Structure 1
């Protein structure tokens, strides 16, 4: 296969995925902007902290665990031209998603106040955050199942439909944000509550659309009654692969959440600056995740077809694009940080701290791109244990100890925290690249006795 065709295939898969991630990031950015303009740093802190908690639960159990496992299995089965097995893994994956989604939503609905207290939230941030989590938890069931259905589509090399779903979700969310946060069209201004209601309704809308798509286009001819056709061996396979992926995300997200708890104790100025910087940086991360999805799909397909050289080439191509895009974002972080921060908040103190954080964040972008994409390639090839080990080391043995050192011992503040994350991502990027190459060579030797 020519390199041009491989590049074209990667772009066909990655660009809609990048578009999908970018759309979700747009709504997060606009949401942060709107609550910031409405209520200042307290509202930004409440929505920021609450969103981190909600999406940490969602990512650990679904987005980076179960969804990755399902995509990997289905892609490999389709690569081996075993459509019946692909359907069986899809059906059982949906069942597991429903089984997990409900208790997660119940937990967030019942205990938001206690969770936020543990996070160190106080006063207005605590009361507003409690309302936000409780409202959003109603929609998280629909969001989680929607993510599973999207993962199945991606395994079929359909990344366009999830992007369309994202566009619908974002349109509904932003429109309702404007109406409910500020009190337009006769509605009372609800501030943080309005943001939460908008998010909940948007998630339900996206779920309804994806269900309609499955029914209209008969994806794998899956019917609602098929969800109850449970096969314990397949469930065990999915969970076995999902657990390391979930633990990897848990290692990263929980360490990140603990980091946020530490930063919260530095005060609302530091926390708001950190949250806005994280939001801005996320616009850079989205292209990386899009190309990581493409790497997961194509590495899975090629490993399923026992074409190991192709798996390596596709992942390398995805990494090159991710590094190029995220390095370009680094330049923007260095050259126009004030303009970027000013779009979110008017508080001069927050802007001053955020500018320094954003400039340091520019260092980690290429390393982050490498880590995300080659981690995706490892998962697509069926190895979720190695990414988990690497992420655990970088999060718990590099990030947290260094953060404790700079915050509590050296008392250097939030700017130094971003230097710590740059060190973390430099390590993780290098390790993911090295171990992806080792994994593909191991599979090739096992399959045909050759190195790739």
Structure 2
């Protein structure tokens, strides 16, 4: 297996001489670096919480992060639905040389995301904190330590949403380095702030998981300042003038709605399905849920190749279609899938072989290590299907085809993952392993649906105004 993997890597490096490969990789590597290190920083945050001296408080803190992430991700998914439209539209405008449309597109996205999603959802989260956490499945010990963390994250959500929107349009224009540099700076600040506020270093009080929330919110604010400074400096690929008047454009709104509504429904289906899934696992108790959260943290690392090359495919395909070159767009999609799949295969081997060691970074509890390591072996088999469907779904979104990702997510996450998880966990008593077997089946079905749609080539003929 290892010899075959080495051969594949050599072939990938050789094929980088192909200009298509280089373009895919040049856009993908900053995103991959950003996502990979961002996920690693998130893992470090979890490790810090897992190593709080009081093991009961540590387990409850890890669980609190998992509970909070579910409504947070629902909010971010709605923002990302608009951002998907923004990435596709900006890529088309860049490809067709209609650069005068880009600035106004940005203003539409920021206005819609903040007024309709970020501000209202933050207020709801701050007002109904305990009710939301309890609904998701937080036990009394998790509520005790996690309420203030939840509230801090909801404040940071406003700035995080703004950052996501700006990063999405920059990537649509082919600039993935600026978001990478800024987000890495913010993540370094977040990790440092976590260490200081969780453990009470250099004279600060030890705030535990609340300190992690405050640090995250502050780092999001700093990222907003850095992104705005860069965008307004005139040294960015996208020219933005805050003094120019906002002009409502019905064509931009039409495109955002056409791409954004299916993308929004997809993200909502994904988050609702995962929330139900989390609720099933949370019923197994705080210890098992902590193990599950550790697996999710490590799984987030394995998402990065698919996400990075999916973003690369979306940008390049959107640009190629804007140029009127569908054949070129198809080449980009296939190349992104090939490179991303090789990288995900490497990650699968790491997860399968070194699962106990990875989990051991989070906790010393032998029961959590045992449960998590078994689940990671299942996650390893998920990797090839997960990577391929993420990349090809990104390719479809870049073309403006957001219907089929919606269909695949609805069938896979709500129709398969949640039902199988309930059967395997609650009826057959397979515990955490049963939950992750359901994830494997879900990813396999979604891969079949997305791959089948991509092969039809119908996405090449989608028109935007």
Structure 2 partner of 1:70: 86
Paired residues for 1:280-299 under 5 Å: 280-299=298-317
Contact 1:378 1:439 in 2 (8 A): no
Secondary structure of residue in 1 paired with 2:51:
helix
Contact 1:108 1:134 in 2 (8 A): yes
Shift in Å, 1:440? 4.3
Secondary structure of residue in 2 paired with 1:323:
helix
Shift in Å, 1:146? 1.0
Paired residues for 1:2-41 under 5 Å: 4-38=18-52, 39-41=57-59
Shift in Å, 1:88? 2.5
Q: Distance in 2 between matches of 1:125 and 1:424?
A: 29
Structure 1 partner of 2:376: 358
Structure 2 partner of 1:403: 421
TM-score, normalization by structure 1 = 0.94
User: Is 1:320 aligned with 2:338?
Assistant: yes
Structure 1 partner of 2:102: 86
Structure 1: which 5+ residue stretches go unaligned?
447-452
Structure 2 partner of 1:147: 164
Secondary structure of residue in 2 paired with 1:224:
coil
Shift in Å, 1:234? 2.0
Q: Distance in 1 between matches of 2:74 and 2:289?
A: 18
Secondary structure of residue in 1 paired with 2:248:
coil
Shift in Å, 1:56? 2.6
Q: Distance in 2 between matches of 1:337 and 1:23?
A: 19
Q: Distance in 1 between matches of 2:192 and 2:170?
A: 27
Q: Distance in 1 between matches of 2:143 and 2:193?
A: 23
Q: Distance in 2 between matches of 1:136 and 1:239?
A: 28
Secondary structure of residue in 2 paired with 1:228:
coil
Shift in Å, 1:239? 2.5
Q: Distance in 1 between matches of 2:308 and 2:234?
A: 24
Structure 2 partner of 1:381: 399
Contact 1:244 1:388 in 2 (8 A): yes
Structure 2: which 5+ residue stretches go unaligned?
1-15
Moved over 3 A (4+): 218-221, 225-228, 439-442
User: Is 1:106 aligned with 2:123?
Assistant: yes
Secondary structure of residue in 2 paired with 1:158:
coil
Q: Distance in 2 between matches of 1:152 and 1:209?
A: 16
Secondary structure of residue in 2 paired with 1:190:
coil
Structure 2 partner of 1:334: 352
Secondary structure of residue in 2 paired with 1:221:
coil
Deviations 1:250-273 (A, max 9, x none): 111210111111111101121111
Shift in Å, 1:42? 1.3
Paired residues for 1:112-191 under 5 Å: 112-191=129-208
Secondary structure of residue in 1 paired with 2:230:
helix
User: Is 1:443 aligned with 2:443?
Assistant: no
User: Is 1:418 aligned with 2:436?
Assistant: yes
Contact 1:264 1:270 in 2 (8 A): yes
Structure 2 partner of 1:237: 255
Aligned length: 443
CA root-mean-square deviation:
1.8
Shift in Å, 1:91? 2.1
Contact 1:333 1:362 in 2 (8 A): yes
- 1:412–1:338 Cα change, 3 Å: same
TM-score, normalization by structure 2 = 0.92
User: Is 1:222 aligned with 2:236?
Assistant: no
Contact 2:194 2:212 in 1 (8 A): yes
Deviations 1:295-316 (A, max 9, x none): 1001111111121111111111
Q: Distance in 1 between matches of 2:197 and 2:389?
A: 39
